[in-house]
Structure formats: structure tokens, C-alpha cells
Structure 1
Amino acid sequence: MDADRIAIAEACLRAAHDGSLSFPEIVGRLAGAGFEGYAVDYRRHAQIFYRPDGDSVALAMPGGRGPVAAAFAAAGIEALVRWAQSGSADYRYEAFSEGARAAGCAGYLVSFAGRRVVYYGRAAETHVEHFPR
């Protein structure tokens, strides 16, 4: 992958963690750079950005690490997503991630074309959230 696209992925990853860009802004920047989506892997503490040609880049996530709970709580994930979407002044991605791991979320896949996020647990349970209109 070329250095410019890697730099965009790195900037979007930092922006998610420091709160300087919203999820819709991050999606717009990544899609504009030719990415089709990304995956967050809480067990490896990594985020992988995918292009339609099969190219990808994996980046280490900043912030804290923690175990992923064994039981998957879809209602807990849904509550975290609603908090993220609320625009609340107390929202932080690090707290979202901590809550997601505690709710048994091992990771999630974001599809720009599908306009959805698939959250999954350690036993492959899933919860799907569609992008807001």
C-alpha cells in the first residue's frame, strides 16, 4: 500500500482515539482514499484497513488493552453504539472499546458499501448496526 493511504489510515485511527473526528468523518476520509472498510480486532489490539483490490494495512491500536469477556451481550453493544451516536460530551472511543470488550465483543467489521458494522463475540455471535441515515 502506498505511503499516502497508510498515512490517511493512521490519521483516522488517531482521530478515533483522540476524538478529533466523528465516525461519519472517518468513514468519509477512508472511503475518499479508496478504502472499502476496516476491522477492529480487540484480541490482537489491531485495526486493519481494506482496499477493494485486496491490499490492506494493519495498525496497532493506541490506548489500553484488556481481555474480551466470554459472554457476548448484544444489548450492551447496542447501548454503547447509541452512546457513540448521541454526541455526548463524555463519549471517548477508549471507553467505548473498554465497554465493548466487557460486553464480549472480540471485534467488529465496518463495511462502507454495506453501510453497516458487524460486531462479533468470541464464539462468533453477532450484532449488526446499520449506519444512521
Structure 2
Amino acid sequence: MLTEPTITAIRAVWAAVHSPSGLSFPAAASSLSALGVSRYRVDYIARTATAYVGTDVDVAPIPSYSTLAGSQPWDISKLSAGIKNAQAGVGIYEDFSKAAIEAGVTDYTAYLEGKRVVYSGALGDTHTEWFPGAKKD
């Protein structure tokens, strides 16, 4: 079971990510890793972020950036463009989320230790994006 201070710290990271100034993916990943988070899952339909620390979890509500979540067809070109913009530091998390949702992403899991993010669509489409500079298996 996660301690209250750990839950509070994880949720502070989510608050920073979703703030008007945003928090970059590298900064968020670093902060979450320092808290022992090995992976996290963002579900755009349920509007939750689930952080995994060992076998313990924290499920936090997140803002909804689009009413289209789950209704858009999978479009890898749009997803790739959104990822590229985020990696280049263009925009904030809200911009990335809108682009991902418009590309048909319903949820994604960031594997911090595995250095990759797996994006999923409503019909089972997936795309794996390695962290910049990560060594692929």
C-alpha cells in the first residue's frame, strides 16, 4: 500500500503536468521515477492516470481535454506528428493529449524503466515509441 506522502507527491506531478505551464515529459518521468514509479497508464476515456510502484497503484483523476476520446479512427501519422511535437518541446501536455485523442489514442502506458510508451486505440491498434536515445531491445 502506498503511503499518503507518496500519493501526494505523485499527484503533485500530475498537477504540474496538467497546469497551464505544463511539465515536460522528461521532467515528469524523472520526478515519477524518483518516487519509485516504474510505469504509468493514462486512460483518456476514464480520465485517469494510474501510477505503479511495485505492486501498489495510485489512480488519480485527470482533466478531460476532448469529448472525442474513443470515437476517433486510428491515425498513426497524426500520432507520430503529435509525438514529434512533444519531443521537440512544442506546446504543453494538453496540446499533446488533444493530438493523441484526435489520432485515435484511447490510452497509453509509459514504461519508465523500459524506456518506451505504448499507445493503444479502441480497436486494438498499438504503437510503441521508444524514449529519445533509448536502446531498443
Determine whether 1:95 maps to 2:98. Answer: no
Greater shift in the superposed pair: 118-127 or 5-14: 5-14
Shift of 1:21: 2.5
- Structure 2 letter corresponding to 1:14: A
Counterparts in 2 of 1:70-85, with a 5 A limit? 70-85=72-87
Counterpart-to-counterpart distance in 2, 1:27 and 1:4: 18
Residue identity over aligned pairs, in percent, reads: 31
When the two chains are superposed, the root-mean-square deviation of aligned CA atoms in Å is 1.4
Give the unaligned 5+ runs of structure 1: none
The alignment covers a number of residue pairs equal to 130
3-state SS of paired residue (2:45) = coil
Query: Which residue in the other structure is 1:116 paired with?
Result: 116
Counterparts in 2 of 1:57-76, with a 5 A limit? 57-68=58-69, 69-76=71-78
Give the unaligned 5+ runs of structure 2: none
CA deviations on 1:12-34 (whole Å, 9 max, x unpaired) are 11111123431111111111111
Shift of 1:92: 2.0
**Deviation >3 Å, runs of 4+:** none
- Structure 2 letter corresponding to 1:39: R
Determine whether 1:15 maps to 2:29. Answer: no
- Flag the 1:50–1:131 CA change in 2: closer, same or farther, 3 A: same
Task: Give yes or no for contact 2:22–2:93 (8 Å, CA) kept in 1.
Answer: no
